[in-house]
Structure 1
Amino acid sequence: MTLFGMSIETLYLTLLIVSGSLTILYLFFGDALEGLGEAAGFLSPVLILAFISFFSAGGYILEKVTAIHSFIIIAIAAIAAVLLDILLNVFVLVPMKSAEQSLSYTEKSLEGRVGKAIISIPEQGFGEVVIESYSGMISKPAASFEDTPISEGTEVLVIEVRNGVLYVTPYQPSFK
Structure 2
Amino acid sequence: MTLFGTSMETIYLTMLIIAGSLTVLYIFFGDILEGIGEAIGLNPALILAFITFFSASGYIFETVTSFSSLVIMVVSIISALLLDILLNIFVLIPLSSAEESLSYTEESLKGRVGKIIIPIPENGFGEIVIESKSGMISKPATGYENEAIAGGKRVLVIEVKKGVLYVIPYENNLDAEHTV
Pairwise same-fold verdict (TM > 0.5): yes
Structure 1 residues 85-96: aligned runs within 5 Å? 85-96=84-95
**RMSD in angstroms over aligned alpha carbons?**
3.2
SS at match of 1:30: helix
The answer to which structure has the higher helix fraction is 2
* Structure 2 CA distance for partners of 1:170 and 1:13, relative to 1, 3 Å: closer
**Contact residue 113 and residue 170 of structure 2 kept, 8 A:** no
- One-letter amino acid matched to 2:35: G
State the partner residue of 1:24.
Answer: 24
TM-score by length of 1: 0.77
Q: What is the deviation of 1:80?
A: 0.7
How far apart, CA to CA, are the structure 2 residues paired with 1:162 and 1:59?
57
Q: What is the deviation of 1:158?
A: 2.4
Percent of counterpart pairs with the same letter? 50
State the partner residue of 2:11.
Answer: 11
State the partner residue of 1:111.
Answer: 110
Gaps of 5+ in 1: none
Structure 1 residues 98-144: Cα deviation after superposition (integer angstroms, max 9, x where no partner): 222475642x443211112446678x766745232446342434326
Q: Structure 1 stretch 108-117 or stretch 150-159: which is displaced more?
A: 150-159
* Structure 2 CA distance for partners of 1:169 and 1:75, relative to 1, 3 Å: same
Q: What is the deviation of 1:170?
A: 2.4
- One-letter amino acid matched to 2:130: E
Gaps of 5+ in 2: none
Structure 1 residues 80-159: aligned runs within 5 Å? 80-101=79-100, 103=103, 105-106=105-106, 108-118=107-117, 128=126, 130-133=128-131, 134=134, 136-143=136-143, 152-159=151-158
